[in-house]
Each structure stands twice: as C-alpha cells, then as structure tokens.
Structure 1
Amino acid sequence: MVITPDVQPWPSISAADTFKTLLVGNGLSINIWPSFNYSSLFRQTPLPESAKAIFTAIDSTNFEEAMRRLAEARAITEAADKDASWIDPLYTTIRDQLFLAVQQVHITWNDLPDITKNAIGMHLCTYESVFTTNYDLILYWARMHVEDRHNAKTADLMWGLGGTFDRHSDLWPGWTGIYYLHGGLHLWRSRSTGTVGKWQHQGINILEQVANGYDATTDRQPLFVSEGTSVDKLRAIQTSEYLSIVTRKLFDDTKDTVVFGSALSASDTHIVEALAAGASRRIAISVCVDGQSTEQIVQLKADMHAKFPRHTLLFFDSATHPLGDPVLRAAKQ
C-alpha cells in the first residue's frame, strides 16, 4: 500500500453520517486553551529539583514521558537486583504535580466563550458514545451548557445519590453517553469505599472545590489516571469499577469511530487495543497538518495503519472538524 501525505477535509468524510462514536484526546483542549500543552504545564509546576533533573535528562517537558522513563528505570534497577526505592516517590511526585498543574492553568468558566461551549456541546450530541482521555473540564462544561440552553440529552452515568456512579444505570434511547477513560478534574474516588462520583455545584465552582477538596487526609481522592506507561495506566484503571466499565464499553463498541486530538502513543496502548478490537469498521483520525512535514504525516498514517490493520482508516485535517475550528480558541491567555 502506497501511503501519501494527503488528508481530507472533514465534511467530505462526514457526509455519509455513519460515525456514531467519538474518542477525544488533548488536541481538542490545546486548540481551545494552549496553556494545556506540556511545556506550559511544566512551567507552572513547582517541581522539586530531583524531579526537574529527570525532565532535563530526557530533554522533554512531557510528564507522561518522564514517568515512563522512571518506570523503565525501576524495572531495570530491580532486574539488576539494585535498590529502586528512590524511584517511586519521584514518580508519585511527578504524577501528582501533573494533576495540580492542569488545575492551576485551567481556563475559567467565564473565559470559555459561550459560542465555544455551544459548538462543542452540540457536536458531542451528534454521537451515540463519546470517550475522552482528557482530564480538563472543557467537555464537561460544554455538556452543562447545552443541557441548560438546549435541553440536550447527554449522560455520564453519575446518577447515583450525591452524583455518584451507578453501575446499574444505562442510557435512555437517543441520549449520548460521555465516558471519562482516565478520570478527570471533576471526578473523585472514595478512599474507603471505592465509590466514584463527581463534584456538584454547591455555590462554589468546580475548580475551587478541586483546589480545596483534596489532601492526604481526605476520604475523597482525585480520579485521575496519568501513569507513564500503558501497563501502569491499565493497572490503575483496574482499581476502579467505573474506569473498568467505561474502558470495557470502548472495547465493546463496534460503531464507525472518529479519533480527534489523540496521538494514540505508546502510553495509550490500552486505548489502541480497545479501538482495534471487534468487527472491522471505519475509523476517521484527525491530523494536525499545520507545522508537520509531509514525511511526518506519512509516518503518522503508516503508524496508524500498523495499529489498526483490520479497519478502514480515513484521515482528515483537524482544523476542518467542528472540534478543531480555530474560532473556538479562547481569547484570554
């Protein structure tokens, strides 16, 4: 098969209207609020010198890459029968600081334009299932906006008492399911019971609740999967009933799928395996054309064909998709 650097505009792919599943990565969030990129998060994070030294050594500001390298270092050190006890505290520090950094650089509700919330929320409603690996609140706020303004029918299965996950609930016909594969800022897990829930508006906005709601002594802890390797992420997912169930939903989904803003890198191999499972179908994958050479685009397409050999792949310019429209970007930075 000859792979060319050509990508299509989204409207030419979507005309058939067969795509009922959407997987969203952080490309969406970065398009709207560039402060979500790793270099910005790194600048905002008060890392100790020992952690900064890891980033310097790997010449990267990517938190997941730093954790991946530490996980590899742990495995090699233990295989050599050497003391690896210094690695885990460093790994935990970097993971926890990533959570805090996302919270600290987060756009506010008021700075996220209504036109952006509306465009995202209404587009989500064109799918039956929406899966996301993002931690931020943009999709959540977009849902809230269109539910309030347009009575849009979306659900995250947090229908239990106090906004907790109800494993026995399911979607009503015509509703869009929203599933947070790696948790999120608005989600918490009880340390004592394992119950998962979402912060609810109680006169305090969610970002303030998150900032004030967690410490080492509270029962509620962040539901936030940010481990550096796919194996470690999957291990963390398996400790949560909610995360395990929504991951299984992705495995079981066989509808034509749009992948937007996700590189599907090695640290997300569990996501790739879930997408690759099941019957052959069409998978449309966004490509950020701006700033990439033709060689890079060809390599990206080749990598995706290797990951999904049984499926029909289509590639589109992310800027031509409703979620990648440059007009969605918030003005205040």
Structure 2
Amino acid sequence: MANNNIPKELKFEDLPNYESVLVKLNERNYPKHLLMGNGFSMAYDHQIFSYNALYDFIEDIEDPILSKLFEIINTKNFEQVMRQLDNFIELAKFFDKGGELVNTLTRASQLLQKSLVDAVSSLHPEHVFEISEGKSIACFDFLHEYLKKDGKVFSTNYDLLLYWVLMRNESKYANDGFGKEHLNPVETRRGQEEAKYGDLNWGKYKEMQKIFYVHGTLPIFDTGIAIEKEVYTNRKYLLENIKDRMNNKDYPVFVTAGNGEEKLEHIYHNRYLTYCYDQLCNITGSLVSFGFNFGEYDYHIIDAVNIAAKRGAQSGEKLFSVYIGVYSEPDLEYIINIQDKFDCKVNVYNSQTANIWG
C-alpha cells in the first residue's frame, strides 16, 4: 500500500490551488488524466444536479413504496437507499418463504433505478444553448488541458453537460469512440448514390477514444446488438429524442447499483462500460479528480486506480500519482482517512479554485 503522505494536521486553507497542480504536472513528461464526478455538474448548477433535487423529483411522483423507503432509511442519497434495499432483499429471501416480500422489494428496487433515470432527464437543462457561451468555453478550456496532451477524460456523471460542451466547441481531440458506418461506399465512389450512413454506434473509433463515461450517460443506449448514441434531429433537441426512447421503455446505459462491487458487476455486463473501466485501469502518469470524492460506494474506482498503479510497483509504465480535489474541510479529512487505500502517491488540492465554468 502507498505511504500516508498527506499529513493529518493539514488544513483546508493550506491546500494548493488547481493552477499550481497543473504547473507541477506539466513539468513532467508523462500524461495526466481527468476523473470527474457529480461535483462537475453541481459546479454548473447545484440546484439541478444535487441528490436533494433528485429526491424532490421522486417525492413528487408520490409513489407510496418509494416514499416509505426514503422515510425509513432517512436519507436522500440514492446509492445508500439502493444498497439498503439490496440488503433487505437478501434478508427477505431467507425469512420470506412465500416470496411476496422479495417480489415487492425487487419491484421497489427496479422502480427506484428507473425513477433515477427519469429524474436526471426531467431536471436536465433542455438543450445545449442553455449553457452560456462563456461557461461553455471556460469548461472546454478546462477539459482541453487534458485532451490536447495525450490525456483521457473519465466521467461518472449521467447528464449531458460534458457531451454538450465538447460538441459545441468541436474539439478534434474529444473522440468518444462513436461513429457512423458508411453503408454504400462502392455506390458512392462510383457516383451512383449519395452517401448513406448508419446509426451512431460505438466501437469504430474506440482505439482513438479519449472520452469515457464509466457509469454510462443519458444519450448512450444498448440495443443488445449495438451500443448507440442518440443524436439531434432537425425537428427535436437531443433530450427530447432521449425522452422519446425512454417513453418507449428504452432506457440509457446507467450504472445505478448500490455499492462498488455491484456497480462493477453492472459494468462487466456491458461491453461499452467494461471498455471504459478497463481503460481507467490502464492509465499511466497522473490522475486528477474533480468533484469525485472516492466515497464508500465507489471503491471500484479506487481499485481501478490501484490496478493502473500496478499495485504499488516501484517502476515501469504505471500510474504514479493521483491529485484529488476537495471542496471542504470534511472532504479533506475523509481523503486523509482513506489515503492508505491507494497504491500510488495521493495528493490533494482545493477544488474551489478550479473555476471550471468560469
């Protein structure tokens, strides 16, 4: 395991700022990568992308089972409720010989996961131009710092903000692995037909991929045959098309399980998510996190970091360090307490200084 290099007496006000982290990393000859969590979206609008907002949406549904669940468990944290539900189901399997309680709890778990997807899509800004040009450019500059220098960007967020920013600013480095297949190349080459293209499917450009949605995201769908990305049409915004698919019981690729082990199981049941996770497991150089606190429900991400760090190997192509952005004194205390879970050097910085949205 890594040494505890963050002193326990370190105070939040003494943390280095984000720019100083970049200066330090840019002096080195190895890549730097970015891992983003919900703090990225909350930095844009905490009223939309917080657990409280999602909880309020679920409460408005007025489903008696879900309302009772949140009341009993006494939290607005979806992951915690899902985890408790899983525990209840396992207990019920032992005590409930008739199976009625197991079925009720299983339906509640499925409803909660569906409601989370519904909540994210319903609370989301309607279209890309609701993000001001200034915010879009500022965020793109933040991301481009990694993409232009052989880095990769990993997101655990479900929303469209990252996708919108990269699309609007047309980065040539922001390859997400999706592309359209040319359906009639021979006829097009002969001048017999205009070019026809298929759906926007994942896989064609995965070797050049630099954007990874580790837990899935709203526009990505698994048809069973292909991994598709929903797009704009001439008549409808992207979010409208996503909602149309959801109304037809076609749901996006979302990892909504409770703890890290269950999330990893979900990831390994989808080839797109598996590829994204494996890429995280194989990064080298340094990893910077923003808005991701490595909480108890995300230990599978710590495990990916440790795999990339070659389980603490002293040399070779590996991940040498992680720079974790913390937003408050309690966040700092938490990272200090879990730093021994990492097999690489752990550093911290003040994430309030990043100003990613300008």
What TM bracket, shorter-length normalisation? Answer: 0.7 to 0.9
1:2-49 per-residue CA deviation (whole Å, 9 max, x = no partner) reads 412242111222112156210000001011011110111111221511
Within 5 Å, give how 1:4-23 maps onto structure 2: 4-5=10-11, 6-16=14-24, 17=26, 18=28, 20-23=32-35
Structure 1 position 116 matched with structure 2 position 135 = yes
Within 5 Å, give how 1:70-89 maps onto structure 2: 70-80=85-95, 82=97, 83=99, 84-89=102-107
Match of 2:316 in 1: none
Match of 2:335 in 1: 301
Report the alpha carbon displacement of residue 170 of structure 1 after superposing the two structures with TM: 1.3
- Going from structure 1 to structure 2, the CA distance change for 1:230 and 1:301 (only over 3 Å counts) comes to closer
Give me the identity figure in percent. 24
Match of 2:83 in 1: 68
User: In the aligned structure 1, how far is the partner of 2:20 from the partner of 2:338?
Assistant: 20
Match of 1:164 in 2: 201
Partner-residue secondary structure (3-state), 1:86: helix
User: In the aligned structure 2, how far is the partner of 1:281 from the partner of 1:234?
Assistant: 23
1:72-118 per-residue CA deviation (whole Å, 9 max, x = no partner) reads 11223324465322211100111110101111111232321111111
User: In the aligned structure 2, how far is the partner of 1:234 from the partner of 1:86?
Assistant: 25
User: In the aligned structure 1, how far is the partner of 2:297 from the partner of 2:331?
Assistant: 20
User: In the aligned structure 2, how far is the partner of 1:50 from the partner of 1:92?
Assistant: 12
Match of 2:184 in 1: none
Residue pair 2:323, 2:348 contacting (<8 A) in 1 also: yes
**TM-score when normalising by structure 1:** 0.86
Partner-residue secondary structure (3-state), 2:112: helix
Structure 1 position 200 matched with structure 2 position 231 = yes
User: In the aligned structure 1, how far is the partner of 2:205 from the partner of 2:172?
Assistant: 22
Partner-residue secondary structure (3-state), 1:110: helix
- The letter for the 2-side match of 1:254 is T
Instruction: List alignment gaps of at least 5 residues for structure 1.
Output: 329-333
The structure with the larger Rg is 2
**TM-score when normalising by structure 2:** 0.81
Structure 1 position 51 matched with structure 2 position 79 = no
User: In the aligned structure 1, how far is the partner of 2:213 from the partner of 2:331?
Assistant: 28
Which among 278, 290, 310 is matched to residue 248 of structure 1? 278
Instruction: List alignment gaps of at least 5 residues for structure 2.
Output: 182-198, 310-318
> Where has structure 1 moved over 3 Å in runs of 4 or more?
79-83
User: In the aligned structure 2, how far is the partner of 1:52 from the partner of 1:115?
Assistant: 40
Match of 1:264 in 2: 294
Structure 1 position 33 matched with structure 2 position 70 = no
Within 5 Å, give how 1:233-244 maps onto structure 2: 233-244=263-274
Report the alpha carbon displacement of residue 286 of structure 1 after superposing the two structures with TM: 0.6
- The letter for the 2-side match of 1:37 is S
Residue pair 1:189, 1:222 contacting (<8 A) in 2 also: yes
Partner-residue secondary structure (3-state), 1:188: strand
Partner-residue secondary structure (3-state), 1:15: helix
Structure that is richer in helix per residue? 2
